[in-house]
Amino acid sequence: MSTYPPDYRYTKDHEWINVAGDAGTVGITAHAQEALGDIVFVDLPAKGAICKAEVPFGTVESVKAVSDLFAPASGEIIEINEALKDAPELVNSDPHSKGWMVKLRLTNPEEVNQLMNAEQYEAYVAAEAGH
């Protein structure tokens, strides 16, 4: 069984997007949160902000480092995960569900088709790790 939800799409920067209609929920993968370690702060843009695919939209801070969050697709932020303000550790404990970061209204849904599926992402992570 895969660690990565099969209906999500994945980026080489270790973000995921789960599309429903013209909206997509975005977060970081289990692999990314494991590499980062304990997450202590998530800096997200305000509702209404515009994201462009492959451009940073926020940061995630762990005990090890601060890392940029790259948008997997272009769109307008329609919701942010307010729970992460008080409980950034949700990204560690449940990165593919409760640890989501933003929801986007997609301006170009076709961009998502360029991303990896779960099987391709697992192979990418394994290749990156040298396995």
Kindly report, residue by residue over 12-50, the tens digit of the pLDDT.
999 999 999 999 999 999 999 999 999 999 999 999 999
| pLDDT higher than threshold 60 for residue 11 | yes
Structure tokens at 87: 């409980």
Q: Which strands sit side by side in the sheet containing 56-62, from one edge to the other?
A: 39-43, 56-62, 66-70
Residue 1: the pLDDT is 45
Close Cβ partners of 116 (under 8 Å, ≥ 6 residues apart): 9, 10, 11, 12, 124
Q: Output the six-digit token pair for 121.
A: 């992402």
**What is the structure's pLDDT at 130?**
83
pLDDT of residue 3: 85
- pLDDT(9) > 70: yes
Helical H segments across the chain, by residue range: 30-36, 83-86, 90-93, 118-128
Q: What is the pLDDT of residue 20?
A: 95
Are 58 and 45 in contact by the 8 Å Cβ rule? The answer is yes
The answer to whether residues 6 and 122 touch, using CB atoms and an 8 Å cutoff, is: no
In this structure, is the dihedral angle defined by the CA atoms of residues 34, 36, 40 and 41, taken in order, positive or negative? negative
Out of 2.40.50.100, 3.30.470.10, 3.20.20.70, 3.40.190.10, which CATH number does the structure's domain 9-128 have?
Answer: 2.40.50.100
Query: Among all chains, which residue has been given the structure tokens 């005990």?
Result: 63
pLDDT tens digits for 47-101?
999 999 999 999 999 999 999 999 999 999 999 999 999 999 999 999 999 999 9
Decide: 61 and 43 in contact? Cβ < 8 Å.
Answer: yes
pLDDT tier, 2 (very low <50, low <70, confident <90, very high otherwise): low
Contact 20, 9 (CB under 8 A): no
